[in-house]
Chain A
Amino acid sequence: MDEPLSFWEHIRNIYESTVFIYGMTMLLCYALLAILSFIGIRRAQKRDSYSDYKKLLGSPLAPGISVIAPAFNEGVTIIQNVRSLLTLNYSRFEVIIVNDGSTDDTLEKLISEFEMVQVDFAYNEKIKSQPVRRIFKSANLAYDKLVVVDKVNGKSKADASNAGINVSSFPYFLCTDVDCIIEKDTLLKMIQPFMHEEGNRIREVGDPCPECGYIHVVEENRRVIAVGATLRMVNNCEVEEGVITRMRPPRALIPRFQEMEYIRSYVLGKLGWSMINCVPNVSGGLGLFDKEVCIKAGGYDPRSFGEDMDLVTRMCTYMRDNKQKYAVRYIPSTQCWTEGPPNLKIFSRQRTRWGRGLIQIMSIHKKIIFNPKYGRLGMVVFPYNLFFEFLAPIVEITGILYYIYIVVTGQINWHYALILLLFVYLYAVMITTFAILWDQITYRYYKTWREVIGLAMMAFLEPIIYHPLIVFFALRGYYYFITGRKHVWGNMQRQGFGRAKPQAG
């Protein structure tokens, strides 16, 4: 007859079963996202095969877009980057550069290069930001789309973006970083989801209003409030006049892993979520937003460490609180190229901040979690983020400690342990490889098949090298948040873009 299990054996069984179910659920979610994103890519491809986005170019009906790019000490590259933004393909847009109290010659360069003159601008502070000192417009008609805002440093991109939103004239704004390289057709492509779902249908509610005599109406259609697109690393790409002329995966290990991670996160993850209207976040590097909803939601929070996710969450809660249907969408094509952290030190700082941002968002918006009032946001987006983004590093570290414990106490069944490890390892490799395949279906990025396969092969190294780092930095972020450690904003030294240097000899 079997001996009854001891208390600790019960605990152990419960822990093992829970972790297995947790892991399986996460893996199934990834599989679901892979299927959904594939459907999304095929749908986008079909539409792209006949859509002529250029019809927007000459149309007087095209909605206006303000491109907002905060700049802090970007003197080295600012002129080239602003020129690149000014040549975007779109008929109605303005470029707002927010000089966030730079201590270098960023502002002086802008003033002299673009013939900027100070103007009496009626600045309406709809969203709080550090004081705006001066606003400039160009005296040269060739740069009439350019606005430069000079403000007191707010120690965050969020604060600078808020000032830019206050100055903006158009109903949509594109938030980006001044050092990002944006594809020329970005505005044409990213405005599409807004126009494909927006219909301004309204429904009358109640009796005629005693004050105005009209029956009040509520908007019934689904309003797209934010759109994102895929981002990639510009490290090792060749750039000429703000245009990528030769695309290649980064050579250095950290940015190379990041490229692979971004492809998985955007092409497979966010596009999959977009299909069921559960996008949790629109990247701070590139996002197109409905300005009215953003302002009503309070704009960016300068105290947030994950200001992009925080903004999208508040915009979504605003829509739910006001009983309006909304959508946050992603498009599969890569529209933005950003410089990834080139070394471990800068990378650790970035990921620690992200970890800190995630726990902050979870604590600030805890009322949303499992709250049916918030619909998918409360029942899908936040629970997923809680369990599979926020808790994942914690579960992983407990798993590692548990492994060490059973190894030390000789309780491990090496045979089963290796099967389980192989299972998780191969599954992770499979998901990443599919992400790269989906990406290749979207467009044949990179010049040679060796570059693609080389990038895909990184999936075999990721669980051993890159993933442990991510887990460690995330946990460090949580720790810093819990202990209230002061955050120090670091400035990433830009490597700059350029043509490939000729090989010596």
Chain B
Amino acid sequence: MWQDFNSYLLEYPSLDAAIYYFINLPLVIQIACVFIVIAFLATLFAYGSILVRRFKGGRRDRRMSVIIPRIDTLLTEHIILNEGLSENIPIDQIQLPLEEFRIPLLRSRFGKQMLIDRIVSYKKSFTGSIGALLRQLYLELELDKVSFKKMKSPKWNRKVQGMIELTDMDMSISDVNILPLTNSKNRELRAEARNAYIKLSKNEPFKFFDIVTEPLLMWDQIELFKTITTTEEISIPNFARWVTYSSNKSIVSFCLKLIVHYNQQDAAPAVMRLLENKDHVLRANAINCLGKLRYEEAEDKLVSIYSNQPLNCQIEILKALGRIDTGGHVLFLRQEFLHSSDFDIRKNAAKSLIKTTGVSQDLIRELIDTGTAENKLILKHCMNPLIKF
């Protein structure tokens, strides 16, 4: 039977009264009471956290607004405008005023991190002697030790951060330290380790292509592509090696993109062999690669396999014929344009016909005059310089 709280107060001291009152409540109300307390405390905690975060964030912004201009002034004064650079003194012989950088403002962990971030940021903007002097400063201030320490952290994101700093500052990391990370279970760490390995390894930067078993995701490929194509003094291998031997399809697919980028014509025969591959995505990539390489020997083969291919490969073949542009398969393109029931096939056949230099204006005019209304529109679409796709 429910009793008012006041009736308990008449019998017991207040704390005991509250306990007895609670014990005698129905279960549903007991649960509600517990949640009331939890919700009240949690709401207070949330308000407190919002205020603390705002306060800390504001303080951090204020500190940054003081530290960053100071660092920028120091870097401009002692690195960018360094007199030794204008006098062509070798970088390792330039005396840097390290004490200027060891001011109390930059001694804290936060200050050191700001300094590293600014040096890395400047290093990305300056190459040559200024870049080398920034690296020298980073070394002489022993900031590399901070970055190496991060690499030993159990937290993966700290490891990644350290690795990026070292990579950006062109610091060498031994293969022993970095190779195991290229196969780490953590995807982010693995991706960054591969990136760093390509950039820093002096011996075989592409070694991990041989051992990697997981797929390279699109984002990994974009990062690697950027690293490979922008790193100076990297010896570019013949990527046909992995196209032929790698069992990892994403590595093969990535190598096809690199083959196109570096225009590795001697890789084309290896790419041709991929036309027999069972994976239609990989076949489409190989056809795309052959087209972009303008590999004339591939034309007949592409036309011969055309009818057995799925739609994505057929479209790639039509595009490739337009790119290779020998004019040897105009009739085939014309036939596909006139007789295919698929819109995309007709559009790509038309595009390649128009691209092919050997095709006379008479043929195009004939196709416009005799074609269906839709085919006429497709041709006009493809001929219009304002329309790219």
Contacts and interface: CB of A to CB of B under 8 A. Distances in A.
Contacts of A124: 343-344, 347
Interface in B354-378: 374, 377-378
Given A122-B347, A194-B218, A437 B381 contact: no
Contacts of A55: 222-223, 226
B343 to A, nearest CB: 5
A429 interface: yes
A47 B386 contact: no
B283 to A, nearest CB: 9
Contacts of B46: 430, 433-434, 436-437, 456
A420 interface: yes
Most buried by B among A24, A144, A437: A437
A138 B384 CA distance: 12
A404 interface: no
Interface size class of A (residues with CB under 8 A): 35 or more
B160 interface: yes
Contact of A200 (B35, B215, B381): B215
Interface in A210-267: 211-215, 217, 221
Interface stretch (B25-33, B100-108, B316-324): B25-33
Nearest to A428: B39
Contacts of B381: 119-122
Given A122-B347, A429-B43, A440-B54, A198 B49 contact: no
B36 interface: yes
B245 interface: no
Contacts of A419: 29, 32-33, 36
B222 A214 contact: no
Contacts of A27: 35
Interface stretch (B75-83, B90-98, B136-144, B249-257): B249-257
Nearest to A200: B281
A504 B135 CA distance: 55
Interface size class of B (residues with CB under 8 A): 35 or more
Contact of B39 (A169, A427, A440): A427
B161 A61 contact: no
Contacts of A215: 278
B384 A61 contact: no
A119 B43 contact: no
A58 B261 CA distance: 14
A118 B36 CA distance: 65
A8 interface: no
B377 A422 contact: no
B249 A201 contact: yes
Interface in A189-216: 192, 194-202, 204, 211-215
A56 B221 CA distance: 11
Contacts of B39: 423, 426-427, 429-430
B18 interface: no
A215 B279 CA distance: 9
Q: A-B pairs with the 9 shortest C-beta distances?
A: A169-B389, A120-B380, A195-B218, A122-B381, A426-B39, A199-B215, A423-B32, A195-B219, A137-B386
Given A61-B222, A122-B377, A449-B51, 6 more contacts: A24-B31, A50-B160, A199-B218, A413-B2, A419-B29, A449-B55
Interface of A: 20, 24, 27, 46-47, 49-50, 55-56, 58-63, 117, 119-124, 137-139, 144, 169, 192, 194-202, 204, 211-215, 217, 221, 413, 415-416, 419-420, 422-423, 426-427, 429-430, 433-434, 436-437, 440-441, 444, 449, 452-453, 456
12 contacts: A46-B157, A50-B192, A119-B384, A120-B380, A169-B389, A194-B218, A212-B308, A217-B279, A419-B32, A426-B40, A430-B46, A452-B54
